[in-house]
Amino acid sequence: MPSSNKPILQVQDLQVEFHTDSGVVQAVNGVSFDLYPGETLGIVGESGSGKSVTNLTMMGLTPQPPGKVVGGSVTYDGLELLSLNQKQWQQVRGKKIAMIFQDPMTALNPFLTVEEQLVEVTMLHMGLNRTEASEHAVGLLRKVGIPGAEKRIRDYPHQFSGGMRQRVMIAMAISCQPDILIADEPTTALDVTIQAQILELMKSMQEEFGTAIIFITHDLGVVANVCDRVMVMYAGRKVELSTTTNIFRQPRHPYTVGLLNSAPRWDQGEEDLQAIDGQPPDLLDLPSGCAFHPRCQFVEDDCRKEIPRLVSLDGEIPHQHACLRDITTWKEDV
């Protein structure tokens, strides 16, 4: 749980559009959340819900054009990130906020050794000379569990397995002990054994450095294991945000209920899985009213006309959800 009452990152009403030949895509539409030191915030939702675009924008990595930030604010420790130029971003990206990308094979430069890529980061941000940076890099590879680090550091990315490449990416991300680590589907392509090792590694890094983590994933099992709070996104909007315990025990939005019911559990058979009907909406042609209403089993007439606002339920940690129906009414139908 948060180790401080003051957020280290604040996202307010973030809006990101992509201008395409077919029209304007509202990839992120009014998303707001806080991130606290030492906590892990999970962001979940189907593909196209806006998870990755939200976080790429926070890192200043949204391609412009076709992307464009049309509104909102992203503040890190009092610094407005959306107004930074590229030179200013060099002082923040990697040093204060780092990212583990989904596919390490495309994120790592295939023409440079692992040593060259790790050394570049620490020489730039920590002011180390070449010898010091190389020693630091070897120590990082040892820390993330790569055997024979002294020799493997001179290898190229293609000489590592998928799990080992992901470890290299984690080593690069934590090399400057950032305050915030964004992990975009870091375990999706890994088998369950390697996945467990990577998650344990991230936990130990967080405990050692007090890093705040944003964990983007489709895997609700991973969310239950590592996250303190969870934000659910759908069609570019935040539809629910609360503690992991509340999300799993008392989901307040029909989409969250659908995600939980469609996730396999050890105590359920295949017949107990309930798929969410339909497909995510076309962001070029969103339905009127609530974007989820064509797939919602609890839909009413008002849902087709009115975009629901976020409602905050009182508690030690507020539980936000965006649904027009009264929770006590539709929850009885689940």
Residue 332 has a pLDDT of: 45
105-158 tens-digit pLDDT: 778 889 999 999 999 888 888 888 999 999 999 998 988 888 999 999 999 999
Residue 315 has a pLDDT of: 58
Location of structure tokens 């507020």: 318
pLDDT range class, residue 334, cuts 50, 70, 90: very low
302-321 tens-digit pLDDT: 899 999 998 887 655 678 99
For residue 233, the number of C-alpha atoms closer than 13 Å in the C-beta half-sphere is 28
Q: At what angle do helices 162-174 and 130-143 cross, to 10 degrees?
A: 130
Predicted TM-score of the model (pTM): 0.87
DSSP 287-307: PSSSTTGGG-TT--GGGGT-P
Whether 199 and 187 have beta carbons less than 8 Å apart is answered as yes
DSSP 252-286: -SHHHHHHHHTS--TT--GGG--PPPS-PPPTTSP
If we measure between CA atoms, which residue out of 167, 175, 165, 85 comes closest to residue 121?
A: 175
Average pLDDT over residues 232-253: 92
Distance CA 171, CA 108 (A): 12
More confident residue, 94 or 68: 68
Residue 204 has a pLDDT of: 82
Average pLDDT over residues 161-175: 85
Distance CA 262, CA 320 (A): 22
From its phi and psi, is residue 186 left (phi > 0), alpha (psi between -120 and 50) or beta?
A: alpha
Average pLDDT over residues 31-60: 92
Mean pLDDT, the chain, whole residue set: 86
If we measure between CA atoms, which residue out of 171, 203, 173 comes closest to residue 40?
A: 203
- 175 contact partners, CB below 8 Å, separation of at least 6: 94, 118, 121, 122, 136, 137, 140
How would you classify the pairing of strands 212-216 and 180-184? parallel
254-268 tens-digit pLDDT: 999 888 888 766 666
219 pLDDT exceeds 90? no
More confident residue, 324 or 328: 324
Whether 104 and 168 have beta carbons less than 8 Å apart is answered as yes
Length of the chain, in residues: 334
Average pLDDT over residues 297-301: 87
75 pLDDT exceeds 70? yes
Average pLDDT over residues 216-233: 89
How would you classify the pairing of strands 97-100 and 180-184? parallel
If we measure between CA atoms, which residue out of 218, 216, 281, 201 comes closest to residue 29?
A: 281
The most confident of 91-105, 188-202, 269-283, 286-300, by mean pLDDT: 286-300
Structural domains of the chain sorted by starting position, each given as residue range(s) with its CATH number in brackets: 9-96+178-333 (3.40.50.300), 103-177 (no CATH)
